[in-house]
Amino acid sequence: MKELIRFGERFFDELEIAIYRTRGVSASIELNEISMASVKSRAITIIRGINEKRLGLAIIDSEEPERIKEAIETAAKMARLNSRDGKWDSLPEPGKYREPLKPNKELKEASPDQLVEMVIRGIKLAREKDPNAVVAGGEGGVIWEEKHIVNSRGVDVFQEGGMAYIFFELVGRKGGVVTPGIFDFDARRDLNLDVEGVVERVVRKVDWAYDVKASKNEEIPIILGPWAIAGLLSYALFPAFSGERLVKETTPLAGKVGEAVASEVLTIYDDPFHKLSIEPVIADGEGVPTRKNILIEKGTFKGFVWDNYWAKVYGTESTGNGKRDLRSGGINIGFHNVVIENGKKSFEDMIGEIKHGYFVDGFQGAHSSNPDNGNFAVTANPAYLIEDGEVVGSSVFLIAGNIYELLKQASEVSKEVTVMPFMTAVTTPFIRFEDVKIAGK
Amino acid sequence: MKELIRFGERFFDELEIAIYRTRGVSASIELNEISMASVKSRAITIIRGINEKRLGLAIIDSEEPERIKEAIETAAKMARLNSRDGKWDSLPEPGKYREPLKPNKELKEASPDQLVEMVIRGIKLAREKDPNAVVAGGEGGVIWEEKHIVNSRGVDVFQEGGMAYIFFELVGRKGGVVTPGIFDFDARRDLNLDVEGVVERVVRKVDWAYDVKASKNEEIPIILGPWAIAGLLSYALFPAFSGERLVKETTPLAGKVGEAVASEVLTIYDDPFHKLSIEPVIADGEGVPTRKNILIEKGTFKGFVWDNYWAKVYGTESTGNGKRDLRSGGINIGFHNVVIENGKKSFEDMIGEIKHGYFVDGFQGAHSSNPDNGNFAVTANPAYLIEDGEVVGSSVFLIAGNIYELLKQASEVSKEVTVMPFMTAVTTPFIRFEDVKIAGK
């Protein structure tokens, strides 16, 4: 790699070479059957070179030195044709990295047969527990990743690791009722996925969904589940923590460091080294050391997160939140493992304490939330009606609101946490919110 | 390959091995600059094996015989665990194939530098022609594909070929007006992409868009452009031609063969061998010979299209419309190159003949159309107001309707055609429709 950096310095003031090797193994479900088993591996090299503040960026799916040299030349040609970016400062310097976690090598060698067996076990179990349910979809998979990031300022970080995930989607049919697709998930850094737990949870929710109840306009307590929370916050809240948005004046959190933006029961941080993290990276996508970044502590907003470019534009330091987009090759500000701190009360007890309210498992339409102001309008589906401390059926309703108002209505977080492996990885408890206005549908 | 088929026959009654090699080269634009140049190649092998009507399907990204054998074993294991599909009949037999077109080998070796230069040329030209416009996005690319499909019934087809595409997205800013993103496209089987033509068309549309006009509820003639047509028909109409939907009773075209479903000016067929086709395949994804399938001839519905599985379920023959989904490995009914037949009148003359109406360039929301009944509700944006035969500004409005009613309102097709390379490849003229109800916004 050193030699390739030297080669690149003929063309660039500074450059970065990032190599990503990934191996993904998966088994997918369609209508009670395994529809596909797959093994895919690839190596991608991304060259980012800067010459007189002109950027060149090339991507190839190879790690052969000759091909990397060609890619450097392509990036150099591109940089010559591009205009100067006056805001460019420099690539990151090396930092002080934590000791990496010992990677679990069984994930590196995972076979599709292991996943096929695990998924079949889940399908059988689900159909035994509920003969009226169809396992409409789902997937078990293992992803192994090796990342090597080197730049001409001395950064040279290699990391490797893996994660496994599983999810099932059930649709129940009973007495004329067809439930919506109902999901549950597990994700972790070893192969001991909790298939039984996932199936138990999803079957219980399907059972609740057979009894369809009308919803009406009212203000009631609701408990949001992990899937609903991850979906809503990923679109309505998390982008607002981006330093790029602070610079571009598109975050409602500007000027609010130290202010209460949520209820005191909420503490949210990004921590790749959290014990349940599925991405325990010691360095981000451009080689900056990662750390625990507190976003909200007991309701108080603690600060923004940054990548190298926007931190230098703003005159601060990268918080290690430069995430590499392997499609575009670029670096975007993002999170490694968002954790919403859990509490002491069980989910059961939280339901038991609600006289009249809902447990919302999923939201539709969260992607059209507006992170510039936190406004959202979503359909709660599936949502489960709670009466006198028990779930008595399922319903659908609308919530239109503002995420910062909602966060202030939070009153309790559960003991149980779920790791949501998609989009932004989020580890979250169930959260209860008071006096939420819903519109019946 | 023969040996691998023999190996697979130890486990399966019949099996198919499909190898796809692809090489993609591209250069992308972001805000007047080249944001990325990329070269990606891969080989994917898909095994589909059937044993006692139980399906096994495995995907690997390799064409090494040893890895293919492993994948066959994984597929075999999966087939054992799956249930019988009583509807399964058999894999296709070999058919009579047309002579393949001579592939253009310059596309096989296309370099990212060629695309970088082409794209830079487009950016410069666009900014010269309109200094108020920003080239917000765009991409130039070349895709080369080699496909080898072999099965245990004797199918053994190899095909190779490539296509090149380019598109630019401009946003104009002038006197407080910010236009929406405005696009234009070209796609063909050689590298002589019409960069100048694309830029000229998109700049002209941006110029029209600077003058914003209110829209109101009315019934007027509209001309739909290629992007609007491809988007709307891909979601609202094309799925209805699928034989699978005929079997599942989810197409409004059931029982309508021979009936008028559109205006006489419309003739629509799927023809991979059309002179502008960017995918001139002689066989479909499961090795069935392709052919020209007429869907609508002078307004009359001519028939459904089929893949091997659903054709045999229904008791008919595959029309060569089995398309391989490289992600799931499965075969879906789809099109190779939909052609809407063009006419004799120029687009200019078509505009010149409208006293009061609109030219609609793009639709938003087409993806939520319902192919079960043809209903759609879309936002026309950008839409250009035509007064006394001239475009006088741009507007936004809603159209909610039914695709079959709309198709009957077609009154003229242009001489000019555009090849739309995304999703379903569509070669289409501009089309005029009479008395279209619009809702002002």
Give me the residue spans of the domains in chain A.
Answer: 2-209, 218-440
Q: Looking at chain A, which residue has its C-alpha nearest residue B46?
A: A38
How far does the CA of residue A40 sit from the closest CA of chain B (Å)?
Answer: 5
Per CB-CB distance under 8 Å, the chain B contacts of A122 are none
Are the beta carbons of A60 and B42 separated by less than 8 Å? no
Whole-number pLDDT of residue B78 = 93
Are the beta carbons of A83 and B32 separated by less than 8 Å? yes
Are the beta carbons of B37 and A330 separated by less than 8 Å? no
How far does the CA of residue A227 sit from the closest CA of chain B (Å)?
Answer: 23
Per CB-CB distance under 8 Å, the chain A contacts of B39 are 58-61, 67, 71, 74
A28 touches chain B (CB under 8 A): yes
> CB-CB: which of A28, A35, A39 is closest to B60?
A39
Place of tokens 């205006």: B263
Are the beta carbons of B58 and A113 separated by less than 8 Å? no
The torsion angle over the Cα atoms of residues B400, B406, B412 and B418, rounded to 10 degrees, is 70
A440, A354 in Cβ contact below 8 A? no
Quick one: which H or E segment has residue A168?
Answer: strand A156-174
Angle (CA) B63 B69 B71, round 5°: 80
B306, B245 in Cβ contact below 8 A? no
Tell me the pLDDT tens digit for each residue of A44-79. Answer: 999 999 999 999 999 999 999 999 999 999 999 999
Query: What is the Cα A316 distance to its own chain's centre?
Result: 26
Single-letter amino acid code for the residue at A123 = I
B45, B18 in Cβ contact below 8 A? yes
Phi, psi of A16 (to 5 degrees): -130, 140
Low-confidence ranges of chain B (pLDDT < 70): none
Structure tokens that stand for B107 in this block: 């596309």
> CB-CB: which of B28, B35, B328 is closest to A36?
B328
Q: Which CATH class is domain B2-209?
A: alpha beta
Strand pairing class (A33-51; B54-60):
parallel
d(CA B432, CA B427): 16
Strand pairing class (A14-30; A133-151):
antiparallel
Angle (CA) A195 A197 A199, round 5°: 70
Q: Is the pLDDT of residue A195 over 90?
A: yes
How far does the CA of residue B356 sit from the closest CA of chain A (Å)?
Answer: 35
Whole-number pLDDT of residue B130 = 97
d(CA B239, CA A64): 43
Q: Is the pLDDT of residue A92 over 90?
A: yes
Tell me the pLDDT tens digit for each residue of B300-350. Answer: 999 999 999 999 999 999 999 999 999 999 999 999 999 999 999 999 999
Mutation site for A-interface testing, chosen from B26, B30, B34 by largest number of A Cβ within 10 Å: B34
Report the b/e string of B247-268 with b at 16+ CB within 10 A: beebbbbeeeeeeebbbebbbb
Report the b/e string of A126-154 with b at 16+ CB within 10 A: bbebbebbbbbbbbbbbbbbbbbbbbbbe
Whole-number pLDDT of residue B424 = 85
Whole-number pLDDT of residue B68 = 97
How far does the CA of residue A351 sit from the closest CA of chain B (Å)?
Answer: 36
**Of B272, B29, B19, which is closest to residue B157 (Cα–Cα)?**
B19
How far does the CA of residue A246 sit from the closest CA of chain B (Å)?
Answer: 20
Per CB-CB distance under 8 Å, the chain A contacts of B113 are 74, 77
How far does the CA of residue B287 sit from the closest CA of chain A (Å)?
Answer: 20
d(CA B206, CA B432): 21
Are the beta carbons of A35 and B112 separated by less than 8 Å? no
Per CB-CB distance under 8 Å, the chain A contacts of B77 are 113, 116
B142 touches chain A (CB under 8 A): no
Single-letter amino acid code for the residue at A268 = I
| DSSP string for residues in B59-73 | EES---HHHHHHHHH
- Name the burial class of residue B353, with classes exposed (0-12), middle (13-18) and buried (19+) by CB atoms within 10 angstroms of its CB: middle
Are the beta carbons of A71 and B39 separated by less than 8 Å? yes
Q: If you average pLDDT over every residue of chain A, what do you get? A: 96
d(CA A129, CA A137): 17
A124: Cβ–Cβ under 8 A, 6 or more apart, which residues?
none
How far does the CA of residue B428 sit from the closest CA of chain A (Å)?
Answer: 30
Whole-number pLDDT of residue B319 = 98
Residue B53 backbone zone (phi > 0: left; psi -120 to 50: alpha; other: beta): left
Are the beta carbons of B34 and A78 separated by less than 8 Å? yes
d(CA A312, CA B102): 53
B54, B170 in Cβ contact below 8 A? no
ipTM of the complex: 0.81
Are the beta carbons of A35 and B330 separated by less than 8 Å? yes
Per CB-CB distance under 8 Å, the chain A contacts of B41 are 61-62
Whole-number pLDDT of residue B441 = 83
Q: Is the pLDDT of residue A424 over 90?
A: no
Strand pairing class (A33-51; A14-30):
antiparallel
Structure tokens that stand for B440 in this block: 């002002």
Quick one: which H or E segment has residue A148?
Answer: strand A133-151
Mutation site for B-interface testing, chosen from A26, A33, A50 by largest number of B Cβ within 10 Å: A33
Average confidence (pLDDT) over A139-145: 97
d(CA A365, CA B264): 40
Per CB-CB distance under 8 Å, the chain A contacts of B83 are 32-33
d(CA A123, CA A128): 9
Are the beta carbons of B35 and A57 separated by less than 8 Å? yes
Per CB-CB distance under 8 Å, the chain B contacts of A77 are 113, 116
pLDDT band at A422 (very low <50, low <70, confident <90, very high): confident
d(CA B122, CA A18): 30
Whole-number pLDDT of residue B423 = 78
A241, A235 in Cβ contact below 8 A? no
